[in-house]
Structure 1
Amino acid sequence: MGLTDDEARGALRITVGHTTTAADVDAFLAALPDAVSRATRAGYADRAPQLGR
């Protein structure tokens, strides 16, 4: 992905394909806030690359 190790640890890569269902997307969206909260508490949020860099 062209990121440093620290940046990669703070990144979230999302992939969908032709077999991805609306239920899959709904489940992902339901889980996302908790995942972001846990990553923030673990100190990963400040490692993510900033948009427009």
Structure 2
Amino acid sequence: MKSILNIIIVVLLVGWLFGFIGFGAAVGNLIHILLVFLVIAIILRLVSKV
């Protein structure tokens, strides 16, 4: 479960960076949605360690 969560975090981070750098104005809402999912995934990872 933790390795799948790590993969999801990496994919979301790469997608967010790619969208932010490459298509900033065109896909602005998608970038923020990916960022929210990334933060949720990181919080889930931190909570699952406790």
Q: TM-score, normalised by structure 1?
A: 0.41
| RCO comparison, higher one (Cα < 8 Å, 6+) | 1
| Bigger proportion of residues as helix | 2
